[in-house]
Structure 1
C-alpha cells in the first residue's frame, strides 16, 4: 500500500506544474490589471513592485493555490483612483476567493457589475473606497460569500445605498455570511424589518456592523435567532427606544456598540454581567440612564464607554474585580462620590476618563497600574493634593486634572520615572507655591497647562527647556514672569506653538521674534502699555495666527504695521484710539470692543470680514452709518456694533443673512424701522436693538427665525401690539420696555403657549386689558422645575465653531428696586415685569403656577381685588413689587412662608388687616407697606420696635418716629441683601466651576474659548 501511495503522488507531481508556481494566464491578467489601474506610484507599496520577471504568486498582495491560480488579491490602501470599472483583467480572475480593495478612492462610481464573475469569492472587502449609488444586484450572485464589507463609502452627499436590492434580498441570497459590515450604507429600514431580514436568513452570522445606516428601532427580539452572534454594532442609528434586556441572552456576544442611537430609559444591569461581554459602548445617548452593578470576580469586560450618557450613582468598589479592564470612559455622566481605591488596582488599565462628573475626595494611588497611559479626571470636585504617585507611573502619557478643587503644592520628585508624560493639564484648581522644577525635567512633555491656579513666585521662561514642548500656559496665576534685559530676545523654544502668559504681571513685551513656530500668543490681562510694537506681526515669519492683547493699557500701533494672516485678533478692553484698523483678510474672529476708536466704520469693512465668524466694535466712539458692505461678510455669526454713536437706518440686507446668530446694534442713535426681510429658517438667536430711535412695528418675518432666544427692543419708539407670533420661536427673553406698545396680552389659541419664555419686560408702555383673563399656566418656561444637575449653571449663549468661541448674552432687568445688568442669562432665572401700564382687573390665581419665578413686578397699574394666596406657591420668588395699584383685602399669610424673598413692595394700595408675621417679613422696612391705611402690625407700628410691646391697629405716628424706623430697616434690608448676594457668589465661586468664569473676567472667557490650549 505504501508503494502505491508514493507512486500516486509521483504521478500527480509529474502531471501538475511546480508547487504554487503562477500560471502564465494568471500572470498576464495581473499585469494587465496593474497597467490599467490608475494609482500613485510614490505611495504604492504593492502594485509598484509587480514585475514580470518574478513569479506572480510571490508578488505583494497576491496569493495562489497549489495549482498556480490566484485565489487572494489584497490591494488595500494602494491609492487606486480608477481603471476598475469594467476591468476584463480583474473580473477574469475566476479562481479568486478573497478580494480586498479597501482604502482606495474610486470617486463616487457604482460598484462594478462585473463583480458577479468572481463566483468563488468568500471574502469581499470594498470598504472606504468612495463607491456610491445603489449596490448592484450582481453582488447577490456571490453565493459563497462568508465575509462582506461595503462600509464607509460615504463622501459628502454621495453614499452607497441598499434599497433595490434591499437588505432582505441581500440576506436571502448570501446565506453563508458570517461577517456583514455595512456601516454608512443607506438602508433606511424599520426595527422589525431589518431585524427579521437578518435573523431569518443568516443563522450563522457572527459579526453584524450596521453603523450609521438610517435604521430605526426598536431592536426586535428576532435577533436572538443569531445564536452565534459575537459582535453587534449599531452606532449612529435613530433607534429612539430602550435597550432590550434580551440582549443579555446572547451567550457568545463579546462586543455591543450602541453609540449615538437616541437610546432612552434605564439600561439593564444584567448586560454588564454577561460572562462573554468584553467591549461595551453606549456613549452619546444623553437620555439613557443606569447604574453600575456589583461586578463579579474576574469579569470579562475590557472596555466600558459610557461618555455623555445619564448614568449616575457611585462607582462600586467591585470595579476592581474587572481585572482585565483596559479602557474606562465615563466623561460627561452624573457619577458622584469618591473614586474607589480599587480603581488603582486595575493593572491592565491604559485609559481612564472620569471627566465632567461630580466625583469628590482625592485620586487614589495608581502604584500598581503600570500600564496606565491616559488619565482624565477634569471637571469634577476632586480635592486634596495631586498624588505624586501619578508622576511616577512609567507609562503615563496623558494626565488631565483641570477644573477641580486640588490644592497645596505639587511635590518635587527626586527620582522622576515618568519620562513618558506628554500632556499635563492641571488648570482651574487651587494649586499654589512655586512652579515645580521637575516639570522642566519631563523630556517627553509636549503640553504643560497650569493656568487658573494660585501658583506664585517669579518665573524665568528659560527654565522650560523641554525639547518637545509646544504648548505652555501659565496664565491667571499669581506669577511674575520675568524677562531678561530689554535688548535681548528669549532663547527659542524649539517647537513652541501656543504660549499663554495672560495675567502674568508683564509690563513690557517679551521679544519673541526667534520663536519660529509660534502660532498662538496670549498676553492679555497684563500691564502692557504704550504702543503695540510692529515686530509682533512678524513673529515666526508670519506663522502667528491667534493673538490676544486684550485687557491691557495699550493706546496705539507702532507704525508702519501690517497684520499677518491672523485668524484671531483680540484687542478688546484697551485704550486704543484713532480710526478703526482694517482687519486681515484671513480673520475669523475680530474683537475691537471697549476701546476709544473714533470716526466711522470703514466703508469696505465687509470685504475684509468675508471669512469672519465674529466681529465686535461695541463700546467705542464710532459715528456715521452702518456700511452696507458689512452684508458681504457672509460667514458672520456674531455682529456686535452696540454702544457707539452710529446713525442712520438698519441695512435691509442684514436680516437676510442666514448664518447670522447674533445681531447687536443697541445703544446707538439708529432711526427708521426694522427691515421686514428676515429670511425663512434664519439662524438668528439674539436680536438686540435697545436704546435707539427706531419706530414702526415688529416685522412679521421675524417669526421666520425659529431659534430666536433673545429679543430686546426696549427704549425705542415702536408702536405696535403684543407680538403673539413669536410663540413659534424658542424665545427666552422678550424686552419691550419703554416704547408705545398698546392693546392687551390675549393671543389667539395658536399663540398662547410660551414654552421657553423666562424673562419678559414690557414695562412703561400703554398695554391694557383685563389682567384676570391671562392664563399663566400656558407660560411653561416659568413652570418647569430645573432638576437637571447642570441646569443651574446653564445660560444663554451662542457657540460658533470656527475658533471655538462663544457670544455671551446679557440683559438689563429691574430687580429689587434696582436696575441691574445680568452678564449671564441663567436658564433658571425668571422674571416678569409688566409695570407702568394700564392693566385692570384681578391678579389671576394661575400666577401661582409659575413655580420657578424669581422676579414679579406688576406695579403702577390699575389692578384690583385681593392678592392671590397662590403667590405663596412661588417658592423661588426673590422680588415682589405690587406697588401703586388698587389691591384690597388682607396680605395673604402664605406670603410669610416665602423664605427666598428679599425684596417686597406692597405700598400705595388699599390693603388692610394685620401684616403677616414671618422671619422674612421682619426684614422689610415700613416703606414696603406705606400708603395702605388699613394695615397694622410690624413694621408699620412704632410699638413693635419696643421689646415686649404688643401690636395694635394702625394709629397716629409722628413723622420723626416713622423716619427713624425707615432708616433703620432700610439699612438692615440692604445689609441682608448684600450678605446674601455676596455669600451666594462666594459659595458658587468655590463650588461651581462654571460660575468661576465670572471672576476671570471677559478676557479669560474669550481666551479659553478662542485660544484652546489643548
Structure 2
C-alpha cells in the first residue's frame, strides 16, 4: 500500500510539468491587460513582447505555478501610465501571489481599490510608481502579505498618506508582514505611536524602511520587540533626539540608516560595535557627535557613512580590522591627525571619502586596495609628495586630491594604458615642475584639474588633444600655454564642455571656433588685448553658458555681435569703453565692474535682468540716474552700482525688493533721503550708501531687515540720533562716520546688547554724552574670542543660491593714523572709532571686556580720568589712539604687555609719570606721547638711548615706516583679498554635496563655474 502511495506521488510530480503551460483563461486575461494598459512601446522590455505565439508562462515578467495559473507578475519599469484603475483583467488573476508595478508613472492616481480581489498576494510592490492620495482600506484585506512596498523617492514630498487607515490599522490587519517599505508615505506619527504600533503587531518584521514619513522621535524602546529586525531605515525624518543606546541590542541588525534626522548628542560607541552590522549611515546630522572606538578583529562593517556630522578625533589604526569595508565616507566632519597607514590594507575598499576634515601628514599607500574606484581626500592639510602608486591603482576611476598641501614634483610613470581613471583633480596644492607626461597617456581621462599649483614650463594646448576630455582646468599656475595656428575643420577638443585657462599668459584667443559642446570658458587673468572677437558668441551654435574674460586688457566688442543665452558673463577689470552693453535675457550673473564704461545706464536694463542674481557696474564712469526699470529685476540678490557718478535719488522700489541681499550705491553723487520702504522680512545683509550727498534720517523700516550685517552710510549729510533699533538685527558693521548725527548713545534697556557688532565707526559727528555709561560688557560681538583656526579666515559674505558664489563686503576704517580699506571683513577683526565727537566722562573699566578688539580710537573728544588698566586685557589690540583728550594719571604698566600693539598715540592729554618700559613700548616714538608735560622716560628722554650703541630713537609710525595704506595682517593672522572676489561660478547647481551625489553621482568636485 505504501509503495502504491509513493508511486502515485511520483507519477503526479512527473506528469504535472506536462500540464504547467499557461491556461487559456489566464492567457486571455494577460492579453486583455496588455491591451488595456497605457505604456510606451519604445521603452518597454516586457509587455511589448507579449503575443499569442508563445506560452504565456514564458513571457517576460510572468511566472506560473505547476497548474498554469499566473502567480507572479513583474511589470516594473514598463513606463505604464494608466489602465489598471478598474482593470477587470488584472484583478481577476486570483491566483496571483506577487505583483510588482514599481517605477512606472500612474500620474498621482490613487492605489486602485480592486487590489483587494488579489487575496493570495504575499508580495506587493507599488514603489516609485507615482501613486498618490490615501491608502485605501481595501489594502487591509490582503492578509497574506509578507512584503509591502509603497515607497516613493524619500527626498520628495509625500504623495501617499496613511491617515485613515493609519499605520496602526495597517499593521494590525497585515500581521504576516516581514518587510515593510513606506518611504515618503505621510504617516505623521509621534515616536511612541509608530514604535508601539509596529512592535505590538509585527513580531516577525525583518525590514523596516520609513524614510521621509514625517515621523518624529525619540525612537521608543518598545521597538526591541522586533527581535528579527535586520534593516532599519528612518532617514529624512525630524527625530530631533539622540541615537538610543538600546539599538545595539538588535542582535541581527545589518543595516541602520538615520541620515538627515536632526540627531543630537553623542553616538553610543556600542552602535559601532554591533557584531552583525554591515551598513551604517548617520550622514547629514551636523549636531551628532562621536568618535571611533577600537574596532575589533573581523568587523562586519561594509559601508560606513558619517559625512556632514560633528564626528571628531583620529582615525584609529584598528580601522584595518574592518576587512570587509568597501565604503568609508567621512567628509565634512572634524576628524584630525595623521591617516593611519593601515587604511591602505583595506582590500575590499571601493569608495574612500575623507574630504573637508583636518587630517595632516602624508597620504597612505593604497597599493593593496585593488578594488578602489573612488578616492577623495580633498580639503585637508595633507602634505608631502603624492605617491605615484595612486595613479596606477587598477580600478580607480576618480582621484580627488585638491585643497591640501602636497608639494614637490609628481613622479613620472609608464605603462598606464590600462588605467581606468576618468577624473583627476590635484588643484589648490603646491605641486611644481613640469606637468607629468603620463597625464597625457590616461586614455579614459575626462576631467583634469591642475588649478592653483606651481606647475611651470611651456605646454602646447594641442598636447591635450589626445585625451577625451570634457573638462580641463590649467588655471593659476606658472604655465605658458602656447597656441598653434590650425586650419583644421575638426574641433581641438571634440568633447570639451569646460575649459579654464586663467593666468596662462595667453596673448591671443585660442582657436575655439569649432567647439560644438563648450559651455564654460574661462580666459581670465591673461594678456588678451583689443576687441572681444564676435565668433566667441557663436561657439557651439550658442552652447556657451559661462564666459569669464575678467582681468585682461580688452577695450571693446568686435561688431556685429549678439550674446548667446549666457548664464554668467564676467568682464570686470578690463578697459572696456563706450556705452554699457545690454546683457542677455538669460543672465544670472553679470559683472561689468572696473572698466571705463560711460554715459548712463540703459533705461530698459532691468528687463534684461529678470533672471539675474548678481549685477555689478561698480567703478566705471557712468552718469545719470538709476533707471526705474531696475525694479523689474525681481530675483536680484546683489546690486552694485558703486563708484560711478550717478545722480538723482534712490528709487523707492529698491528697498522693497525682498530677495535683495546687497545694495551698494556708495561713492556716487546721489541725493535725497533713503526711502522708508524696506519690506517686512527683507533679506538685506549689506546696505552701502557711503560718500554721497544723502540727507535726512535712518528710515525706521530698516528694522524689517533682521539679517542686516553691514550698514555703511558714512560721509553723507544725515542728521539723526543713534540708531538703537538696529541692535535687534545681525549687524556686524556700523559706519556713520562724517555726518551730522547728534545726541548720546544711551539706548533703552531692551536695546543695549550688540550680539554681533564687530566694527563701529561713528567718528566725526556731533555725538555727546557720558562715555562712562556705555555698556561695553553687553557688546558680545567684541567679547567672544575665536579659537577655531579655520574660522579665523571666515569673513562677511553673501552666498548666492543659483550661482554658488559670494559677494564680499568692503569697509573703510581709520587705523594707525591712516584711512584704509578692508577688502575682506574677517569675523575676527573688531574695531571701535568714536573719534572727533564730544564725548565726556571717563573710559569705563568694562572696555577691557572686549577681548577680541583690534583697533580702538577715542581721540579728539573730551574724555577725562585715567586710562583704565583693563585695556591691558585686550591682548589682540593692534592700534590704540586716545590722543587729544583730557586724560590724567599714569600710563598703566599693563599696556606694556600688549605684544600685538603696533600703533600707539596718547599725545595731547594730561598724563604724568614714567612711561612704562617694555619691548613693545620701545618701538614707539616720542610723538606718541607728545603734549603730556608730566611724562618722562624713554622715548621722550633721549638719554635713555646709549651714545654709540647704534640704537637710535624710533620714528613716529605715521611719519616713517608705517606710512603704508594697508594693514599688516600678520597681527590678525589672515590675508585680505579683492573686494568682490568671485572667481568662477556655477549656475543652478545644488549647494549640498549630499544632494549633488543623489542627482549627479560621485562627481561632486565641480568647480565654481560649472
Q: Following TM superposition, by how much is the alpha carbon of 1:968 offset from its aligned partner in structure 2, in angstroms?
A: 6.6
Give CA deviations for 1:665-685 in whole Å, capped at 9, x if unaligned. Answer: 111111122222222222222
CA contact (8 A) 1:444 1:466 kept: no
Residues in 1 aligned to 2:451 and 2:520: alpha-carbon distance in whole angstroms: 15
2:962 counterpart SS class? helix
Give CA deviations for 1:416-457 in whole Å, capped at 9, x if unaligned. Answer: 255211111111111111122211111000011112111111
- 1:956 corresponds in structure 2 to none
Q: Following TM superposition, by how much is the alpha carbon of 1:488 offset from its aligned partner in structure 2, in angstroms?
A: 7.5
- 1:1006 corresponds in structure 2 to 983
**Larger mean Cα displacement after TM superposition, 266-275 or 450-459:** 266-275
Cα distance change on mapping 1:153 and 1:288 into 2, 3 Å: closer
Cα distance change on mapping 1:759 and 1:139 into 2, 3 Å: farther
- 1:114 corresponds in structure 2 to 114
Residues in 2 aligned to 1:417 and 1:807: alpha-carbon distance in whole angstroms: 44
Cα distance change on mapping 1:928 and 1:61 into 2, 3 Å: same
CA contact (8 A) 2:807 2:982 kept: no
Q: Following TM superposition, by how much is the alpha carbon of 1:972 offset from its aligned partner in structure 2, in angstroms?
A: 8.2
1:572 counterpart = 2:560: no
Q: Following TM superposition, by how much is the alpha carbon of 1:91 offset from its aligned partner in structure 2, in angstroms?
A: 3.0
Q: Following TM superposition, by how much is the alpha carbon of 1:54 offset from its aligned partner in structure 2, in angstroms?
A: 3.4
Cα distance change on mapping 1:217 and 1:388 into 2, 3 Å: same
Give CA deviations for 1:801-820 in whole Å, capped at 9, x if unaligned. Answer: 32322211221122222222
Cα distance change on mapping 1:418 and 1:270 into 2, 3 Å: farther
Residues in 1 aligned to 2:341 and 2:9: alpha-carbon distance in whole angstroms: 70
Give CA deviations for 1:487-542 in whole Å, capped at 9, x if unaligned. Answer: 77995212111111111111111221122221111111111111111122222222
Q: Following TM superposition, by how much is the alpha carbon of 1:703 offset from its aligned partner in structure 2, in angstroms?
A: 1.9
Cα distance change on mapping 1:702 and 1:393 into 2, 3 Å: same
CA contact (8 A) 2:76 2:104 kept: yes
Give CA deviations for 1:532-585 in whole Å, capped at 9, x if unaligned. Answer: 111222222222221111101111111111112222111110001001111112
- 1:50 corresponds in structure 2 to 50
Q: Following TM superposition, by how much is the alpha carbon of 1:1004 offset from its aligned partner in structure 2, in angstroms?
A: 7.6
Residues in 2 aligned to 1:701 and 1:74: alpha-carbon distance in whole angstroms: 63
- 2:791 corresponds in structure 1 to 791
Cα distance change on mapping 1:446 and 1:692 into 2, 3 Å: same
Using structure 2 for the length normalisation, give the TM-score.
Answer: 0.93
1:825 counterpart = 2:825: yes
1:981 counterpart = 2:968: yes
Residues in 2 aligned to 1:890 and 1:251: alpha-carbon distance in whole angstroms: 74
Using structure 1 for the length normalisation, give the TM-score.
Answer: 0.92
Q: Following TM superposition, by how much is the alpha carbon of 1:95 offset from its aligned partner in structure 2, in angstroms?
A: 2.9
- 1:210 corresponds in structure 2 to 210
CA contact (8 A) 1:550 1:1003 kept: no
Cα distance change on mapping 1:156 and 1:934 into 2, 3 Å: same
CA contact (8 A) 1:153 1:159 kept: no
- 1:355 corresponds in structure 2 to 355
CA contact (8 A) 1:394 1:417 kept: no
- 2:998 corresponds in structure 1 to none
Q: Following TM superposition, by how much is the alpha carbon of 1:628 offset from its aligned partner in structure 2, in angstroms?
A: 1.1
CA contact (8 A) 2:158 2:186 kept: no
Q: Following TM superposition, by how much is the alpha carbon of 1:12 offset from its aligned partner in structure 2, in angstroms?
A: 9.7
Residues in 1 aligned to 2:641 and 2:651: alpha-carbon distance in whole angstroms: 13
Q: Following TM superposition, by how much is the alpha carbon of 1:692 offset from its aligned partner in structure 2, in angstroms?
A: 1.3
1:590 counterpart SS class? strand
**Larger mean Cα displacement after TM superposition, 246-255 or 136-145:** 136-145
- 1:382 corresponds in structure 2 to 382
Structure 1 segment 457-536 matched on structure 2, within 5 A = 457-485=457-485, 492-536=492-536
Cα distance change on mapping 1:96 and 1:771 into 2, 3 Å: farther
Residues in 2 aligned to 1:248 and 1:51: alpha-carbon distance in whole angstroms: 53
**Larger mean Cα displacement after TM superposition, 526-535 or 35-44:** 35-44
Q: Following TM superposition, by how much is the alpha carbon of 1:594 offset from its aligned partner in structure 2, in angstroms?
A: 0.4
Q: Following TM superposition, by how much is the alpha carbon of 1:153 offset from its aligned partner in structure 2, in angstroms?
A: 5.7
Residues in 1 aligned to 2:265 and 2:815: alpha-carbon distance in whole angstroms: 41
**Larger mean Cα displacement after TM superposition, 400-409 or 193-202:** 193-202
Give CA deviations for 1:819-866 in whole Å, capped at 9, x if unaligned. Answer: 221221111112222222222333333322222222222222233333
Q: Following TM superposition, by how much is the alpha carbon of 1:1002 offset from its aligned partner in structure 2, in angstroms?
A: 7.4
Give CA deviations for 1:348-382 in whole Å, capped at 9, x if unaligned. Answer: 11111121222222222222111111111111122
Residues in 1 aligned to 2:967 and 2:810: alpha-carbon distance in whole angstroms: 22
- 1:598 corresponds in structure 2 to 598
Q: Following TM superposition, by how much is the alpha carbon of 1:154 offset from its aligned partner in structure 2, in angstroms?
A: 7.1
Residues in 2 aligned to 1:201 and 1:871: alpha-carbon distance in whole angstroms: 69
Residues in 2 aligned to 1:288 and 1:59: alpha-carbon distance in whole angstroms: 51
- 2:1003 corresponds in structure 1 to none
Count of residue pairs the alignment pairs up: 988
Residues in 2 aligned to 1:4 and 1:254: alpha-carbon distance in whole angstroms: 46
Residues in 2 aligned to 1:771 and 1:740: alpha-carbon distance in whole angstroms: 19
2:352 counterpart SS class? strand
CA contact (8 A) 1:344 1:364 kept: yes
- 1:6 corresponds in structure 2 to 7
Residues in 2 aligned to 1:755 and 1:984: alpha-carbon distance in whole angstroms: 24
Q: Following TM superposition, by how much is the alpha carbon of 1:776 offset from its aligned partner in structure 2, in angstroms?
A: 2.3
Residues in 2 aligned to 1:501 and 1:846: alpha-carbon distance in whole angstroms: 54
1:1006 counterpart SS class? coil
Structure 1 segment 731-880 matched on structure 2, within 5 A = 731-880=731-880
2:265 counterpart SS class? strand
CA contact (8 A) 1:132 1:153 kept: no
2:1008 counterpart SS class? coil
- 2:38 corresponds in structure 1 to 38
1:73 counterpart SS class? strand
1:200 counterpart SS class? helix
Residues in 1 aligned to 2:366 and 2:750: alpha-carbon distance in whole angstroms: 60
Q: Following TM superposition, by how much is the alpha carbon of 1:620 offset from its aligned partner in structure 2, in angstroms?
A: 0.4
- 1:957 corresponds in structure 2 to none
Residues in 2 aligned to 1:401 and 1:250: alpha-carbon distance in whole angstroms: 39
Cα distance change on mapping 1:862 and 1:224 into 2, 3 Å: farther
CA contact (8 A) 2:526 2:551 kept: yes
Residues in 1 aligned to 2:12 and 2:551: alpha-carbon distance in whole angstroms: 93
Residues in 1 aligned to 2:148 and 2:749: alpha-carbon distance in whole angstroms: 56
Structure 1 segment 592-991 matched on structure 2, within 5 A = 592-946=592-946, 965=953, 967=955, 974=962, 981=968
Residues in 2 aligned to 1:222 and 1:757: alpha-carbon distance in whole angstroms: 49
Cα distance change on mapping 1:26 and 1:862 into 2, 3 Å: farther
CA contact (8 A) 1:462 1:491 kept: no
CA contact (8 A) 2:761 2:832 kept: yes
Residues in 1 aligned to 2:492 and 2:589: alpha-carbon distance in whole angstroms: 28
Q: Following TM superposition, by how much is the alpha carbon of 1:970 offset from its aligned partner in structure 2, in angstroms?
A: 6.3
Cα distance change on mapping 1:645 and 1:352 into 2, 3 Å: same
CA contact (8 A) 2:696 2:719 kept: yes
Cα distance change on mapping 1:882 and 1:88 into 2, 3 Å: farther
Residues in 1 aligned to 2:980 and 2:777: alpha-carbon distance in whole angstroms: 41
Residues in 2 aligned to 1:77 and 1:347: alpha-carbon distance in whole angstroms: 35
- 1:434 corresponds in structure 2 to 434
Cα distance change on mapping 1:185 and 1:780 into 2, 3 Å: farther
**Larger mean Cα displacement after TM superposition, 819-828 or 182-191:** 182-191
Residues in 1 aligned to 2:374 and 2:12: alpha-carbon distance in whole angstroms: 63
Cα distance change on mapping 1:327 and 1:112 into 2, 3 Å: same
Residues in 1 aligned to 2:128 and 2:522: alpha-carbon distance in whole angstroms: 41
Residues in 2 aligned to 1:163 and 1:777: alpha-carbon distance in whole angstroms: 54
Residues in 2 aligned to 1:672 and 1:149: alpha-carbon distance in whole angstroms: 66
- 2:537 corresponds in structure 1 to 537
1:284 counterpart = 2:253: no
CA contact (8 A) 1:525 1:1003 kept: no
Give CA deviations for 1:708-760 in whole Å, capped at 9, x if unaligned. Answer: 22222222222222223223322222222222222332333333332222222
Cα distance change on mapping 1:787 and 1:25 into 2, 3 Å: farther
1:974 counterpart SS class? coil
